[in-house]
Amino acid sequence: MTIVERMLKRPVAVAMFVLLLVFLGALSYFTRPVDLLPQISVPSLAVFTYYPNANPEKIGQTVTVPLEAVLGTVTGLKDIHSVSSNDESLIVLEFDWGVNIDYKIPEIREKIRTVKLPESAYSPSVQRWDASSMPVFRFDLSGPQSAHELRRMAKESIVPRIERLPGVGTVKIYGGADPSVRVAVSTRKLAGYGIPIGNVLAAIAKQNVRVQVGTLTRSGKTVPLTLDGRFSSPADIGWTVIGSGRGGAVYLKDAAEVSEVFEEQKEFARLDGRESVAVAVCKTRGGNTLEMIGRIKDVLRGGQGLPPEVKIVASRDDSQFITEAQSLVTDGLFLGSLCTMLVLFIFLRDWRSTAVVCLTIPVCMIACFIPMWYFGIGRNILSLAGLALATGMVVDASTVMVDNMLRHRGYGRSLYDACISGAAEVKSSIMASALSTIVVFLPLLCIKGFVGELFRDLSLTVAGAMACSLVVVFTMTPVLYFKFSRDDDRMSSRSTEPPPPGAPLSRAWALLDRIGAAAGAFVERAVRWQITSIRRQVLVCSAVFLVCFGALAFTPSTGFIPTKYVSELRIGIKNPPGQNIEVSRELVRRVEGLLAVKSRIRTFSSSISADSSEVYVKLKPGGGRSGADRLVKELRGEFAGIPSLEAIISKVDKVSSAVGLGKLMEFKVSGADGAEVRSNAALIHGILSRTGGVVNLGMDEEAGPEGLRLDVERERAQGLGLNSAVISRMVATVLYGATATRYERGQEDVKVTGTDDERRNIADIMIVPQYGDRQRGRAGAVRLGAVASLGKEKTLKKIERFDKRQVVTISADVASGHSLGSVLKELRGEISGSAPRAAGNYSIRGVANCLVESVSDIRYALLISLVLVYMIMAAQFESLLYPLVIMTTVPLTSIGIIGGLRLANEDLSIPALLGVVMLLGILVNSGIVIVSFINMERSRGADITEAVFTALRSRLKPIAITTLTTVLGMLPLALGVGAGAELYQGMAVVVIGGLLTSTCLSLLIVPSVYILFEEAASYLNLLRMRFMSYRLRT
C-alpha cells in the first residue's frame, strides 16, 4: 500500500495532521523575535587597558606589545589589531568564523595574567567587540534650559527607566556635563604649611566615610550602630583638617577654594542646528529591536515629569527601517502568492483544482515557522525573503501531481485509481526535484564565513518550506483532490475542453488555448527538425552552448551588497591634532548651515568631540539612490569651500554597520620600520588618489600636535627629596585633577586640582616632598621651575599595529556607478606595477576583504551543490548518464542571468551569486520531468523518438505552470525598491532570468542531447561488443 493510498483511506487523520502543522507553525510565529538581520557579527574580542598619564609610545612598549605576544598564541585567532593612544591600549582579536568566542574569554584572561604590566596600569578588561554595541535608537532633549540641566533631567528621570527595559544594553548620554565638587588647591599655601598635596587627598577621603562600627542593645533588641561622617554640603568639605601649623589645625578652606561646578564638557550634541542632549541606546545581544524601541517610545510618551517646554525628538530610529523592510518583503510575499494563484487558475481553469494547489502556499508558509523555531531563526528580512522566494516553488510539486491526476482521469480511470496511479507516476520526479532544491543550500550552511552566517536564515527557510511542500504533496494534496472531485465526474476534462461560447472569459480562454497550441507546435516542429539529422543536432547544440558561454564575456563586475535604498547619510568630520573643541563646534555649525537649506533632508543630528565629529542625516522618503547621489555630490562641492574642513560623506549601509565589517576599503600598510611604513603608505595613498571610482580617501595620522616636555634635573631634585614619580603625580593632580572621594548626597565627585593661575603657569607650582624636613618650613617646598624645565617635542596621536607589525591605515569608498570588485582589481594591478616595493607590505581589510572571501566561499558551495544535485539525480534514475543529460541545462542559464543583471543594472553581487546557487537546484526540475517521462514511455514499448514527443506533449503544460509560478512568485521581490531590497533583489533577478532561458532552451536542447547521448552509448556498447567478440575469436 502506497503512502497516497494510506492517506486517502484516513482523511480525518490527514486533516488533523495538517491542522497540527498549522497550529504549531502559528505558535512558533509569535515566539520569533523581530529584527533587521540575523544575530551575527564578526567574531571578535577587545582587550582594553587603561594606563593613566601615559603616551602612545610608553603604552605600546609596556602594555600593547607584551599583551600581543601572549594573545597571539590563542587558538582560532585570525587577526590581531591594536591601537596604542594616550592613556589607553586597545587590542582587537578577530577569530575565524564559527569560533565560539565565549569559550575564548577564559583562555585570554588566563594568558593576560602571565603578563607583568606597569603598576599604574589598570587590569585589562576583555569584552565582546560586536555590532550590538552600536546604537539602534537615539533621542534628543532640547529646550530653554542649559545643556547641563537637560543632562540632569535625562540622567535622573528618563535613563533609569530605560535601563530597566528588557533588551536594553548600554545607554550613553551626549552633551552637557555632570556636576562635581572642585577643590582648587593653592600649592603656594600648601607649601607655606609644609603639607604635601597627597595629604589633602587622603584627609578628604578619610573624613567622608559611612561604616558600621558595631551593635547596641536597646529595649531587648540588638540594633546596628553606624558612623556617618559623610559631607553634608560642599561647604562642609572646607572644614576638613589637612594638617597642623604653628597656629593649630590647618583646614582645607585655608589652602583651597571649594566650589560646586560642572565638569569640563568634552562632548556636545546638536539637533537640527540647536544645542541638545542626546541619549543613545544599544540593545543586548539577541534582543528584539522592535519591541525594545517600542517600549522606549512608551516611556518617552509618558513625559516622566519633564517641563512642558522640553521637547524629545527621536533622531535615530532603526525600528522604522526594520518595519519598512519587513513590510516590503511581506507585501512581496502576498503579491507573489496572488500571482501564483492567478497562473494556476489560468492553466487549470477550475476553482477546485486551483484551490487544492493554492492551499499548499498558506500551509507550507505557516508550517515553515516550525523549523525556524527549531533552528532559532527570527523574523528578519532574510528569513521572510526566503519565504517569499519559496512562494512559487512550494506549489510545483502539487501542480505536477494534480495535473497528472487530471491526465489519468482523462484516460477514463476512476477518481480513486487516478489519484493513486497519478501520484505513483510522478512520485520519484517530485522527490528528486524537491531534494535537488533543498540540497543546494547545504553547502551554504556548512560555510564558516560571512555568507554562511548572513544567509543561513534564508537558506534554512527556503529548505524548510520545500521540505514542508514535500510533506504536504503526499498527504494533503491527494486527499483534497479526492474530496473536492468526488461529485464531479467531468472534472477530468474541465481543463482541456473548450468553454461554451457564452461562458465568462471565453474569448480569453480561447486565446490562451491558441497560444498554448502554437507554443507546443513550435517546440515539436523545432525538435523534430533537429532529431532528423545527427549533424543538425550537433550543430544546434554546439551553437546554443557557444552562445551561452560567449555571454560570460558580458558578466558584470563583482560587488558586495548594493546600496540602492538610501535613507541616511553620515558626515564624518576629522579634527586636526590639537584643535580646540570650540573650533570643531564652529565647523559643525557651518556644516549644519548648509544642511538646513536642503529640501531633501528631513532632520540631522550631530555629535562633537575633541578628536572627531559626526553628523547623522536622515533623508525624506522618495528620490531613491540617484537623489541621494546628487545630494552627496552637492554637499562635497559646498564643503570644499569651508577652510580647514576635512569631511567624509558616506551613505549608511545598514548591513555592514549591523554586522560590524568596518569601512568599505581599508589598506593596512606596513614596513620594516616607521620610515618605511610612512613611505609605503604615501605610495599607496597616491595610487588611490589617482584611481577613478575612489572617493572619501583618508589616511589615519599617527602624528599628534606639537607638545611640551617636562625635563627633570635629577640630581637637584633628588637632593631636595624629590623624584620623577613625585613630580609627575603632583603635576598631574594640578592639571588633570584627582578624585579624592564622592559626595554621595549629590552623587558628585570631589576632585582636587590646582588653581587656574597655577594650571596656566606650571613653573610656579610648589612641591612639598612627602618625606621632607618639617622643621625647615618653606625650605621643604620646591618650586617646579627650580627642578624641571619645559621643552618642545613631537607627539604621537596613536600607534597602530596589525598582526604585530606597525601599520598605517588608508580608508576609501567606491564612487557611485563603480563596483567594488572592479575598483579592487584595478588597484591591485596598479600597486603591483607602480609600487612594487609596497606591493608586499599591505593587506586589504574591511568590506573589500569580506567580498573576496565570500566570492571564494560561494564558488566552493556552487561546486559542491553541482555534485550533490548530480548524486540525487543519479540515485533517482539509477544511471550515471541521464543526470549528465539534465546537467547540460546549467550553461543555458548564463544568457538569462547576465541579461537579467544588465537589465536591472545590477552587479554580480553576493545576493546575485547566491541566486546562481539557488537556481542550480531549480533549473534541473524541467529536465528531470522530461527525462523521467521519456524513460517511462520507452519502458512501455515506445521507441525513442515517439517517447520524446509524448513526453513533450504531456509535460509542456506542467513545466510551463511550475516555471511561471516560480517566476511570478519572485517577481515582486525582483521589482521591489525600498528598505532592505538589496539583500534579495539580485537573487530574484538571477533566478527569474536564468530559469526563463534555461526552461525555454531545455525544451529544445534536452531531447536532442538525450538522443545524442543514447546514440553515443549505443555506439560505445557496439564497440565494446565487437571488442569482446574479437578477444573471444583470438
Residue 329 lies in a domain: no
Predicted local distance difference test score (pLDDT) of residue 139: 92
φ, ψ at 124 (rounded to 5°): -65, 140
Average pLDDT of every residue of the chain: 85
Residue 679 lies in a domain: yes
Of 36-45, 540-549, 844-853, give the lowest mean pLDDT range: 36-45
Instruction: Decide: 349 and 437 in contact? Cβ < 8 Å.
Output: no
Q: Are strands 274-283 and 168-174 parallel, antiparallel or unpaired?
A: antiparallel
Amino acid at 924: V
CATH number at residue 125: 3.30.70.1430
Residue 874 lies in a domain: yes
Please list, in sequence order, all residues whose beta carbon lies within 8 angstroms of the beta carbon of residue 1034, skipping any fewer than 6 positions away: none
| Residue 944 pLDDT > 80 | yes
Tell whether 471 and 387 lie within a shared domain. yes
C-alpha cell at 863: 561546486
How far apart CA 307 and CA 658 sit, in angstroms, is 36
User: Across 592-747, where does the E strand assignment appear?
Assistant: 601-608, 612-619, 646-651, 665-670, 694-699, 703-712, 738-743
Of 363-377, 637-651, 691-705, 884-898, give the lowest mean pLDDT range: 691-705
Phi and psi based region of residue 270 (left: phi greater than 0; alpha: psi -120 to 50; beta: remaining):
beta
State the SS3 of 55-114. Answer: CHHHHHHHHHHHHHHHHCCCCCEEEEEEEEECCEEEEEEEECCCCCHHHHHHHHHHHHCC
How sure is the predictor about 497, in pLDDT bands with cuts at 50, 70 and 90? low
Mean pLDDT to the nearest integer, 36-54: 84
Tell whether 919 and 1011 lie within a shared domain. yes
The per-residue DSSP string of 833-848 comes to HH-HHHHTSEEEETHH
| Residue 491 pLDDT > 50 | no
How far apart CA 592 and CA 579 sit, in angstroms, is 19
Mean pLDDT to the nearest integer, 358-365: 90
How far apart CA 561 and CA 984 sit, in angstroms, is 9
How sure is the predictor about 779, in pLDDT bands with cuts at 50, 70 and 90? very low
Tell whether 161 and 196 lie within a shared domain. no
Predicted local distance difference test score (pLDDT) of residue 773: 38
Residue 270 lies in a domain: no
Predicted local distance difference test score (pLDDT) of residue 658: 66
How far apart CA 153 and CA 51 sit, in angstroms, is 33
Domain boundary among 809, 844, 879: 844
Residue 921 lies in a domain: yes
Tell whether 859 and 1003 lie within a shared domain. yes
Tell whether 615 and 681 lie within a shared domain. no
DSSP-derived 3-state class of residue 389: helix
How far apart CA 554 and CA 504 sit, in angstroms, is 47
| Residue 301 pLDDT > 70 | yes
CB under 8 Å, gap of 24 or more: what pairs does 881-885 form?
Answer: 881/1013, 881/1017, 882/931, 882/935, 882/1010, 884/1013, 885/927, 885/931, 885/1006, 885/1009, 885/1010, 885/1013
Tell whether 804 and 775 lie within a shared domain. no
Tell whether 817 and 857 lie within a shared domain. no
Residue 618 lies in a domain: yes
Highest mean pLDDT: which of 65-74, 424-433, 659-668, 971-980? 65-74
Amino acid at 68: E
Domain boundary among 304, 321, 338: 321
How far apart CA 684 and CA 864 sit, in angstroms, is 38
Tell me how far the alpha carbon of residue 804 is from its chain's centroid: 28
How far apart CA 198 and CA 196 sit, in angstroms, is 5
Domain boundary among 796, 811, 829: 796
Give pLDDT tens digits for 951-987. Answer: 888 888 888 888 888 888 888 888 877 777 888 888 8
Please list, in sequence order, all residues whose beta carbon lies within 8 angstroms of the beta carbon of residue 247, skipping any fewer than 6 positions away: none
Cα dihedral value 807, 808, 809, 815, nearest 10 = -130
CA-to-CA dists, residue 724 to 86, 188, 716, 734, angstroms: 19, 20, 11, 15
Amino acid at 926: S
Closest alpha carbon to 973 in 209, 329, 274, 504: 329
Tell whether 781 and 828 lie within a shared domain. no
C-alpha cell at 247: 597656629
What is the H or E stretch that residue 314 is in?
Answer: strand 311-317
How far apart CA 650 and CA 640 sit, in angstroms, is 16
The domain tally of the chain equals 7
Give pLDDT tens digits for 311-350. Answer: 998 988 888 888 888 888 888 888 888 888 888 888 877 7
pLDDT top residue among 287 and 432: 432
Predicted local distance difference test score (pLDDT) of residue 484: 82
Residue 575 lies in a domain: yes
Mean pLDDT to the nearest integer, 209-237: 87
| Residue 495 pLDDT > 50 | no
Phi and psi based region of residue 274 (left: phi greater than 0; alpha: psi -120 to 50; beta: remaining):
beta
Cα end-to-end distance, the chain, whole Å: 54
CATH number at residue 969: 1.20.1640.10
How far apart CA 1011 and CA 934 sit, in angstroms, is 11
The per-residue DSSP string of 337-382 comes to HHHHHHHHHHHH--HHHHHHHHTHHHHHHHHTHHHHHHTT--B-HH
Domain span at residue 609 reads: 564-652
How sure is the predictor about 949, in pLDDT bands with cuts at 50, 70 and 90? confident
CATH number at residue 288: 3.30.70.1320
Tell whether 773 and 697 lie within a shared domain. no
Instruction: Decide: 137 and 296 in contact? Cβ < 8 Å.
Output: yes
| Residue 929 pLDDT > 60 | yes
Predicted local distance difference test score (pLDDT) of residue 778: 39
Please list, in sequence order, all residues whose beta carbon lies within 8 angstroms of the beta carbon of residue 482, skipping any fewer than 6 positions away: 8, 11, 415, 416, 419
φ, ψ at 102 (rounded to 5°): -65, -30
Amino acid at 731: V
Of 206-210, 366-370, 716-720, 854-858, give the lowest mean pLDDT range: 716-720
Predicted local distance difference test score (pLDDT) of residue 656: 65
Of 340-354, 729-743, 761-775, give the lowest mean pLDDT range: 761-775
| Residue 132 pLDDT > 70 | no
| Residue 35 pLDDT > 50 | yes
Tell whether 557 and 426 lie within a shared domain. no
Tell whether 834 and 823 lie within a shared domain. yes
Tell whether 933 and 953 lie within a shared domain. yes
| Tally of CB atoms within 10 A around 880 | 10
Residue 372 lies in a domain: yes
Closest alpha carbon to 742 in 236, 228, 208, 233: 208
DSSP-derived 3-state class of residue 582: helix
How sure is the predictor about 1, in pLDDT bands with cuts at 50, 70 and 90? low
Mean pLDDT to the nearest integer, 188-208: 87
